[in-house]
Amino acid sequence: MTDYQKEFIDFMVECRVLKFGEFTLKSGRKSPFFMNAGAYVTGSQLGRLGRYYASAIHDCYGDGFDVLFGPAYKGIPLSVATVIAYSELYGKEIRYCSNRKEVKDHGDAGILLGSPIKDGDRVVIIEDVTTSGKSIEETFPIIRAQGSSPDAVKIVGLMVSLNRMERGQGAKCALDEITDLYGFPARAIVSMKDVVEYLYRPGKGGVISDDIKERLDAYYAEYGA
């Protein structure tokens, strides 16, 4: 792991974005951990978050993209914070774009806010976490529809903050399923494997205790990809 990945794991715990215990997910699964990116609420938190995303995106995709697309609603602040950080860290101006849940028919009309997407643009999608790939199912046609033809706009890849490493619709994790279905890479700043490797100290308590580790092992034995 890189230093920024280790810092990011500490950051998620400090902000209470990543918590351990017992949680019921939307899917009905009983999970020993829960992630809520909505807990990033201050200016300094969003500033740091943008820098972690920018570092990971640069590591995975370099400067070979023009637009950072954040699906509504959580993707909007993520995309804004990250393009600011990208400019500060790497000196390249990336445009941000997001979608509206409802099409606006007056003033700044349309389904997009932020920068338009045009022929030749290369787009990276940014999200908090992906468990089923449903948001990409909605986002993919919106982005492709902005070009004059289906291949006029290129989706370079997806970046999320945490790879939960559990099965999506089938036997693979959601990020691998997205790659198989849509043909672009899907990456994460860190994976749950990284989190456990960094936070668990056998017999020493801490953020991931022996009890939590046992529950994580049982959870991934049932739902892991």
Catalytic residue among 26, 101, 106, 204: 106
In the residue annotation, 104 being an active-site residue is answered as: yes
Catalytic residue among 30, 104, 118, 134: 104
The two three-digit tokens of residue 192, written as one number: 């749950």
In the residue annotation, 58 being an active-site residue is answered as: no
Measured CA to CA, the distance from residue 95 to residue 84 in angstroms comes to 9
Alpha helices in 27-96 (DSSP H): 43-61, 75-90
CB 142, CB 152: distance < 8 Å: no
- Mention every residue, 6+ apart, whose C-beta is less than 8 A from residue 88: 51
From CA 215, how far away is CA 182, in angstroms rounded?
A: 33
Residues designated as active site = 104, 106
